[in-house]
Amino acid sequence: MQVIVKDNNIEQAIRVLKKKMQREGLFREIRERRAYEKPSERRVRERAQAIARQRKAARKKMQREGLLPAARRRAPAR
C-alpha cells in the first residue's frame, strides 16, 4: 500500500492511509488475529458473515427494483 505525501503534510497522508487500510479490511483482520479462533467458531462466524452479505445484497436489489424505500443518507458530520 502506498500513499503520496504532498507538501510535507503528514497528517493528511496518515488519514489517507487509514482510509485505505479500512477499505482493505486490515483493521478487522488484525482484530481477528489477536487471539486463536477455534475452527468451529471460525465456521460459525463465516456463515454469519455470508448470511449478512446475502441479506444486504437482497435488500439492495429490492431497493433498486423499487420494492423498498431507498436507504436514508446520513447528515454530514460537522
For residue 74, the model assigns a pLDDT of: 75
pLDDT by position in tens, the chain (length 78): 899 999 999 999 999 999 999 999 999 899 989 999 999 999 999 999 999 999 999 999 999 998 888 877 777 766
How far is 51 from 41, CA to CA, in rounded Å?
Answer: 15
For residue 61, the model assigns a pLDDT of: 95
In sequence order, what are the residues at sequence separation of 6 or more whose Cβ sits closer than 8 angstroms to the Cβ of residue 72? none
For residue 67, the model assigns a pLDDT of: 87
For residue 16, the model assigns a pLDDT of: 95
For residue 70, the model assigns a pLDDT of: 81
Judged by DSSP in three states, 48 sits in: helix
How far is 13 from 76, CA to CA, in rounded Å?
Answer: 22
